Structures are given as structure tokens and as C-alpha cells.
Structure 1
Amino acid sequence: MSKFTTISLMLDELYPNAQCELNFHNPFELLIATILSAQCTDKRVNEITKRLFPKYNSAEKMATLTQEELISLIRDCGLFNSKSKNILATSKILRDSFNGQVPSTRKELENLPGVGRKTANVVLANAFHIPAFPVDTHVFRVAHRIGLSQGKTPEKVETDLCEIFPKDQWIKKHHQMIFHGRNLCKARNPLCEKCPLQVLCNYFLEGK
């Protein structure tokens, strides 16, 4: 059994129910929550969207807000000036050019203000169930430490992970690697002694 297969099976055992932890009820809510999540925890985003989405859960409704009104609702997440500007611009584009609907192609998503490759991948994977492998800071760190990629950019790490794992596992492995990064393979003070992957982990075997 290859190292990659073993890692995949161990992730399945560790995190059988790993899934997106952003709360959403439709593609628009997920898109907005993902934009808000930049340099912000999912927990904090969920607290913000709990008060935002009951009234503003569509592009049409969101576009009625002024930037000042939106900032007052999302201020807790940081980077609120740029996020509010992008959210309002994106909402107006969706309202005017997409009949209020979130597009389901990468190209159209990445053309929206505030939407990069990772955000597009999150929406494709979790809103539309289209195979994609979003690479956030957790996935990037875990991939490097356990030897799945040495790519210097998220795009290269994504390419490597997509080559390692079967396409029908991309979404699940993305979530499992996030859970692993949050629970054990932390950025600071990783819990290596508790990690079942240590026997396969370059970071641990090389003495950190």
C-alpha cells in the first residue's frame, strides 16, 4: 500500500464526517460567507452571518444595503472595508447579469469581485458538488508537513493533491485536511505526539 493510500485511509478514519463548517442555505450565502472568511475563523463568520442572512440572503436583498450599513453588520470579521465593497459589487453583478443566481463555473465565479481561486473552489465543491480541491492555509500546511506536496503556491499544491487523490475524493479530502490542520496539525505547537499520521509525516520524522 502506498504512503498516499495509507494517508487517505487514515484521514477517513480520523474524520469520517468532515464537512464545510460555514453555515449556509443556498449558493449565495456560501459565496458571501466564504468572502467573509478571509483571515477570519469559520466560527466568527457564522456568528456574523447569523445576523446578516435572515434579512439579506440573496443578491437582490444584499444589493439594497449601503456600504456603511453592511460594514455595521460585518465589522467583527476584519478587512471589513474591502469585504463590504466586494460583497456589494458582487451582489449587484449577480442581480444585474445572472438573474440573482450564483454561477457554477470557475471562470464566471473568479470574475466576481473578491472571488479568487480558493473561494471559487469552495463554492463549486460545497454549493454545486462539483469536484474541486480548495487550498486554504490548513490544507497548504498539512500537505507540506505530511509530504503530499512541496509546492510553493496554493495553485501548485492544489495540482499535486488533485493528482494524488481520485477526483471523487477531492471534496472529502479537502475537508479532512482542514479538520486535521485545526485539530492536530496546528500552525503553532502542532500536537504531533497525538497524531496517528506521525509515522508517515515528514515534519515529525525530520524533527520538525
Structure 2
Amino acid sequence: MKMTNHKDDLRIISKNKRKELSTLDRKHYDSLILENVLNDQKFKDSNTIFIYVSYKDEVDTHEIIKSALLLNKKVCVPLIISKKDGMEAIYINSLKDLEANYMGILEPKYNKDNVAKAEDIDVVFVPGLAFDTNGGRLGYGGGFYDRFLKNLKKQAVKIALAYENQIVDYVPMEPLDVKTDYIISNKK
């Protein structure tokens, strides 16, 4: 299938490809992605990770979060403040620290004492609809991650988590878009 360069069309195509995965395939792919994350050297060397909390048909991050906490890593997850103010990274000690927001997405409660400093984050696991091997990432269109990623220390590693069918030849990038460093998928 020929991919389009138009972001909105690519979002529709990518959402549909992700929805096409069966529950059984998704579970299997999620376990392979978990294994690939746990074997990733940047993850192993990290002290503090920032990771999205998966929602609906995204790559499951719940087991990655649990594993990171068991490995005594500091884990922070996003809390959307507002469209204007973006998001904050909030430390959690367990998935029990999360509650569903108005859309059903699990988020931490805001606590100024639990806000992670950008310079402390070593690895960021970013969500998206489509990725390319040149670091291109197609998000959901809100710009939250692009604004957040710009504030991290230069050494912070940005890793896309994706099912293999989310990897495309080319993701159109705009000047404000931030590239990922590499992709961890169910195959690599």
C-alpha cells in the first residue's frame, strides 16, 4: 500500500492498521516488545524513564512500567495540564497511583513534589501512530510530546514503541516536530 505524505491521511491509515491487529496478536507483540525493551542497553543503563500509559490499542506499557519499577528505576508518566501549558512528568510508585481522566486515559494525580525535572530523565518512551526509521514520528496532533521533548537534556534517549505495522517508509516532519532516536517493535 502506497503511503501518503499528508499527516491527516496517514493518521487515518495508521489508526486502521493498528485496529486490524487481533487481540491475540496484540498480546503476543506486546510481550515481544516488553522483552526487547528489557534487553535494550539504553533502558538497562537508565535511572529515570518517562513513559506514556497505554490507552486502547496502543503498544501496552503497563508491563514495562511494572518491570521498570521492579528494577528500581524511577518512573514518571505524563499528566496533561492544558493545551496551552502542555504536560508534566509525574513520578509514580505503582499503576495504582493512576486514575482515569475524562477520556478514560490513566493519569497520575498532580502533586508538585512528584514532578520530575527534565534534566533527570534518561529515556523517554513515546507513543505515536506511525514511525519511520529516520526518527520521524506521527503523533495524535496535539503537539504535547514535541513541546515536552524539546525541554529534555540533550543526552535523553527518545524511543518509539511500535507494532511493526506502524513503521512506514516516511513520516512527514515539520520544523517543530522532534525526532525519535530509534524504534523498539515486536521484531527489533
TM-score by length of 2: 0.25
Max radius of gyration: which structure?
A: 1
Relative to its length, the structure with more strand (as a share) is 2
